[in-house]
Structure 1
Amino acid sequence: MATTDRTWLNQDHQFLHGKELFRSERRFHPLAYTASHGQLLMRSVGRPDTPGEPETTIDLLFKPAAVVKIREDYRGLAIRCASEAESEQVKADYTTMAFARNDRVFVLESQGESDYVVAMAVGWIEGVLGRTQQGFFNDFYPEVPIWPTRPLYGVGAGLDIASAQELIDALVAADENDVIRRRRYRHVYVVMTRVIRPGRPDVTGAGVFLARADAEEAQAVIAAKSVAWMPVECWIEELPIAL
C-alpha cells in the first residue's frame, strides 16, 4: 500500500488558536470509537482524480477524545483549533469534566455548521486501503500476532461480528434441502504466524480468509513486519468447513 499523506499532531506549537489543521471537499462519516484510549475514527472513501487509479481512503483519528459533538455525515470537512473564547465556552458547558491541560477543542466545520471534539491529538492517513485491511490506524504488530478485524484496536461495540448464518451465506448459496447432513464443504485460508521469541516460538492463527488472494495479501503484510529482533514466519493453511 502506498501512503500518500500521513500527519499526526500532538504538540503545543501545532495548535495555535484559530489555526486550520485539515480541509477536504470529500465526504466523511464517523466509523468507529473504542473505549481503549478514547479513540474516535472518521473515514472518507473517495474516487481518484486520475481515471484508472485506485480510490484512496482517508482515516481521520482523534485521541483520546474526552467530549464529542458530531453528526453522522459531513459533505466536505474543515478542522481548526478553537479560538480561546470558543475553547473556554465548550469546556464551561461540561462542568463535571476534569479537563487536562492538553485537552484541545477541535472545531469541525461543514456546510456553514460546526461541531467539535475535545481531544489531545488529531491525525490522518490517506492511501489505498488493502482489501483485507480494516484501517490505517490498526496495523498488524509482531508483538500481538492477530490479524486486525476492526478499524481500531481496543474494546468496541462488536457490531461488525458476522453471524454463523452470514458465514454460511458467504460460502455457498442456501439450500433448504441440504441442512441435515453436511454434504458439502468449502475451504477457508488460515494465515499462521510463528513469532521467534527468546527461548520459545509463539505459533498463532493470525486470521481466517474466505479467498486465497486475501490470505496472501495478509501474509505479505505480516511478512513485511518481520524484524531482526523479533522474526516472524508466516504461512497459509487450508481448512475445510462443513456446510
Structure 2
Amino acid sequence: MTDSTWLNRDRQLIPGKELFRSRRRFHLLAYTASHGQLLMRSVGEPDTPGEPGTTIDLLFKPAAVVKIRAYYRGLAIRCATAAESAQVEADHASVPFGRDDRVFILESQGESDYVVAMAVGWTEGVLGRTQQSFFHNFHPTRPIVWPSRPLPGVDAGLDIASAQELVDALCAEENATIRRERHRHVHVVMTRIIRPEGPDVTGAGVFLTRADAEEARAVIAATSLDCWIEELPIAI
C-alpha cells in the first residue's frame, strides 16, 4: 500500500507554507531533460531492524532552476515567501519564469536550497525489488518494455550498467574475450498482444532470478496482458 501526495494548485501552494517534513536521509536519484523531472529518494530497508521499511520518492516537475545538494540528512520543503521568490528570479534573470512556476525551499540542518518547478509530489510505500521508482510504472503500451530507470524520458544514462557489472552479477570471472564454454540462465518476461495486423510478441524485461521475473510478470499480468517467463542461456 502506498501513500501519495501531488501539489500543483494555488490553494495548495501558499507562499511560506510548509509542504513536507521528514527526519530521514534523502539523496538525488535521477533527472530527465524531457519534462524536467527531478527525483529524490529516501531508501527503505524493511529487513534492517531500526530502519524505516518504506521508501519515499519525491518528485519536482518540471524543474526549471535547481540548486540542491546530493544528500540531505533530514528534509523540509516549503513554498518560498514572496521576497524569496523575487530574489531567486533576480538571481536567474536569464530564465523565463512562467505564471505557474513556483520556488520550493529545501531546508536541512540549518541550510537552504531551492527548486523552481510547477509541482511537487511524493509517494511513500514498500518499493518492489524490481520496481525502479513509484513514478515510472509499467504500462501496456508500445513499446512493451519493463521500466529499467527511475523516470521515463531522456536522461544522461548515468544508471546504465557496464558490461563488466553485468558479468560480475552473473559470475565473478573476468570479462575477457575468451571462448564461452559455460552458461547461466536469465529469465525473460514475454508479452503477447493481438493486433489487427497479427500477434505482437515481445520481451518486456530480463531478470537474473526467477523470483524477480515472477514479480514483474505479476505486475504485467494485472494489466490483462498475456505474459509468461522464458529461461534463456547467456554465455559466460
TM-score range, shorter chain: over 0.9
Counterpart-to-counterpart distance in 1, 2:19 and 2:189? 39
1:180: how far off?
Answer: 3.0
Matching residue of 2:79: 81
Matching residue of 1:162: 161
Matching residue of 2:173: 174
Residue correspondences, number: 234
Pairing 1:238–2:236 present: no
Q: Which residue identity is paired with 2:70?
A: E
Q: Which residue identity is paired with 1:45?
A: V
Equivalent residue for 1:64, pick from 62, 65, 68: 62
After the TM superposition, which parts of structure 1 deviate over 6 Å for at least 4 consecutive aligned residues? none
Counterpart-to-counterpart distance in 1, 2:177 and 2:86? 63
Tell which deviates more after alignment, 133-142 or 198-207.
Answer: 198-207
Q: Deviations over 1:98-151 (max 9, x none)?
A: 111000000001111110000000000001111111111000000142101110
Contact 1:60 1:122 in 2 (8 A): yes
Q: Which residue identity is paired with 1:157?
A: A
Contact 1:62 1:122 in 2 (8 A): yes
Matched residues, percent identical? 76
1:95: how far off?
Answer: 1.0
Equivalent residue for 1:116, pick from 114, 117, 121: 114
Q: Which residue identity is paired with 1:166?
A: E
1:221: how far off?
Answer: 0.8
1:196 and 1:92, CA in 2 relative to 1: closer, same or farther beyond 3 A? farther
Q: Secondary structure at the match of 2:93?
A: coil
Q: Which residue identity is paired with 1:241?
A: I
Contact 1:54 1:128 in 2 (8 A): no
Q: Where does structure 2 lack aligned partners over 5 or more consecutive residues?
A: none
1:165: how far off?
Answer: 2.3
Length-normalised TM-score, structure 2: 0.93
Counterpart-to-counterpart distance in 1, 2:199 and 2:122? 35
Residue correspondence of structure 1 range 18-167 to structure 2 within 5 A: 18-47=16-45, 55-144=53-142, 145-167=144-166
Give the superposed CA RMSD: 2.0
Length-normalised TM-score, structure 1: 0.90
1:65: how far off?
Answer: 0.1
Matching residue of 1:207: 205
Tell which deviates more after alignment, 116-125 or 137-146.
Answer: 137-146
Contact 1:24 1:76 in 2 (8 A): yes
Tell which deviates more after alignment, 113-122 or 86-95.
Answer: 86-95
